[in-house]
Amino acid sequence: MAVNINYFFLLIGAILASILLFFQPKEVKLRDPNAKEVAELELHHFTLYELTLDGLKDVMNGKEGLRYTDRIEINDIDYTDNSRNLKNNITADFGVYDNINLITLEGNVRYHREDGLKFKTNRAVMHQKEETITTFGPFTMDKQADTIVGKDLFYDSKNGLSNAKNVTGIFNLDN
Q: Is residue 3 included in any domain, yes or no?
A: no
Q: Is residue 10 included in any domain, yes or no?
A: no
Are 167 and 146 spatial neighbours (Cβ–Cβ below 8 Å)?
Answer: no
Q: Is residue 14 included in any domain, yes or no?
A: no
Q: Is the pLDDT of residue 17 over 60?
A: yes
Q: Is residue 159 included in any domain, yes or no?
A: yes
Q: State how far the alpha carbon of 66 is from the alpha carbons of 38, 41, 138, in Å.
A: 9, 6, 29
Check residue 45 and give its pLDDT: 92
Check residue 76 and give its pLDDT: 94
Prediction pTM value: 0.71
Start-end of H helices in the chain: 2-22
Note down the domain range covering 63. 41-170
For the chain, how many structural domains are there in total?
1
Report the chain's C-alpha Rg in angstroms: 27
Q: Is residue 35 included in any domain, yes or no?
A: no
Q: Is residue 87 included in any domain, yes or no?
A: yes
Q: What is the CATH number of the domain that holds 93?
A: 2.60.450.10
First to last CA, the chain: 110
Task: Kindly report, residue by residue over 97-120, the tens digit of the pLDDT.
Answer: 887 778 899 999 999 988 888 889
Are 63 and 43 spatial neighbours (Cβ–Cβ below 8 Å)?
Answer: no
Q: Is residue 84 included in any domain, yes or no?
A: yes
Task: Kindly report, residue by residue over 128-163, the tens digit of the pLDDT.
Answer: 888 888 999 999 888 888 888 889 989 888 887 888
Give 51's contacts (C-beta < 8 A, 6+ positions apart).
57
Check residue 110 and give its pLDDT: 94
